[in-house]
Amino acid sequence: MEAAAVAATKPLIKVVAICGSVREGSYNRGLIRCAIEISKSSMSGVEIENVDISKLPLLNTDLEGKGTFPPVVEAFRQKIREADSILFASPEYNYSVSAPLKNALDWASRPPNVWADKAAAIISASGGSGGSRSQYHLRQIGVFLDLHFINKPEFFLNAFQPPAKFDENNNLIDAQTKENLKKVLLSLQAFTLRLQGR
């Protein structure tokens, strides 16, 4: 069987991509755009949907009814519920994850926890260490949420170190970084299928 035919038989996995920055010009948002492009142009069996978390209200259990959530929260939870795996693009704020991302994590963890038993990967574009501290903190949070993160490859991008990694529209342009991002997606795909026994 030809390689193209083999690739076409791969089961489809649905990946929800979440950017921890709500800023339109975020480099992490640029990473997600590139991941979506890679999944469409040079991978098979992976469908990535960018899910916006900017409209989620601050977590307040007073907003919950008996087993119900505000419509915007319920819509977000449903996206997570339907996903096979999660791709987090996590900037680093004060050695940790961003407030919008933590808020999204908390809303989707309200009973029933819709993160449970899903595969996940983290990518980061930041200064300094490229977001490594935020990633390690997110992994700690993931223990309680019962998320299963891939361990390798890790992806930390110092967005400000030359040569330029992004263009004037914050789109990823560095070829090696794109290749590193593709390796993360391939690892997430393989791990998701293994976790699901497919």
Would you say 196 and 118 are in contact if contact means Cβ atoms under 8 Å apart? no
Q: What is the mean pLDDT of residues 114-120?
A: 98
Tokens of 140: 């700690």
pLDDT for 91 beyond 50: yes
CATH of residue 29's domain is 3.40.50.360
Does residue 4 lie in a domain region? no
Does residue 41 lie in a domain region? yes
Does residue 169 lie in a domain region? yes
Instruction: Give me the number of domains the chain comprises.
Output: 1
Domain hosting 155: range is 11-195
113: Cβ–Cβ under 8 A, 6 or more apart, which residues? 145, 146
- At 9 the pLDDT is 67
**What is the distance between the alpha carbons of residues 183 and 102, in angstroms, rounded to a whole number?**
26
For the segment 173-186, what is each residue's pLDDT rounded down to a tens digit?
A: 999 999 999 999 99
**What is the distance between the alpha carbons of residues 38 and 138, in angstroms, rounded to a whole number?**
24
Q: What is the mean pLDDT of residues 50-65?
A: 96
Lowest mean pLDDT segment, chosen from 17-21, 65-69, 91-95, 155-159: 65-69
For the segment 5-26, what is each residue's pLDDT rounded down to a tens digit?
A: 444 567 899 999 999 999 988 9
Does residue 5 lie in a domain region? no
Does residue 32 lie in a domain region? yes
198: Cβ–Cβ under 8 A, 6 or more apart, which residues? 11
Is the pTM higher than 0.85? The answer reads: yes
